[in-house]
Amino acid sequence: MADPYVEHGLLSPAPSDVSVSHRPSDSLPTPRSHPLLPASQKETSLINFIDARILNITRRYAKSFAADQSDRGIQTGYTNFSQTIADIDAVLDVVWVSANPSIQIPYLLALAGHFRGYMHSFPFVTTSFALARKFDLAFSSLLSASANDSAVSQVINTTEKVRIRSLAQETRFEMVDVASKSGYSVRQDDLEDDEDETEADTTDASDNEERPGYPPSALSLGKVYEKTLEILGGDLSSFPPPESPREPPVPQSTDDVEIIDL
């Protein structure tokens, strides 16, 4: 039987198949030149695929803490956070390729929420930095488009901006907490000093790692969601009244659909 993920030319194989060896990149894949048409067969297929992959992640996470091995079934739970990161990263790539903000924004928020929510359940891993940078790049790119492109009609609404900033701040705080509990050298004054540095002081990560008094973990943690928080650093109370949160598009058919090439 042919592998459906290869047969239909998807950007990534099933996330559960890549968890063991996949290491997330901190760069985003090239999106489609044109967004998927709303309510089209391709959009329906994509939404069903993303929903299935996110459900797979939540189920694997739950199985990680099953009472006994017999509760885990065929697919095992996560044994370390790098596996969770690999699954989230694979879905993030597919979401980004859609080039459709109505798909990207709600699913990025959902995936980033799982990333933040699950990290406390496992020892800290440095692959967290790559995924955090990737989320930072995705959110900051959409925020910049919303602010600077007159052809784009408010890509991200006010409520979403508030949610993104809150998620970014909470993720940074919790990564510091988990890293500290896992034995990494992190001091709050290191993070505060790093946030005040100029761009010229922090352009090369290899230079940062060699600077005395600044543990690499502290320097990297200080940059979690750096671009996003810089864009949203203003007082959000001055923004227009909040709008209703955007939900992921709902497929027009509940039937199983074929996953097609994006």
**Higher pLDDT pick, 34 / 187:** 34
pTM comes to 0.73
Q: For the chain, what are the domain ranges? A: 82-235
pLDDT tens digits, residue range 222-261?
Answer: 789 999 999 998 544 444 444 444 555 554 444 444 444 5
> What torsion, rounded to 10 degrees, do the Cα atoms 202, 207, 209, 211 define?
-90
Q: What band does 183 get if pLDDT is binned at 50, 70 and 90? A: confident
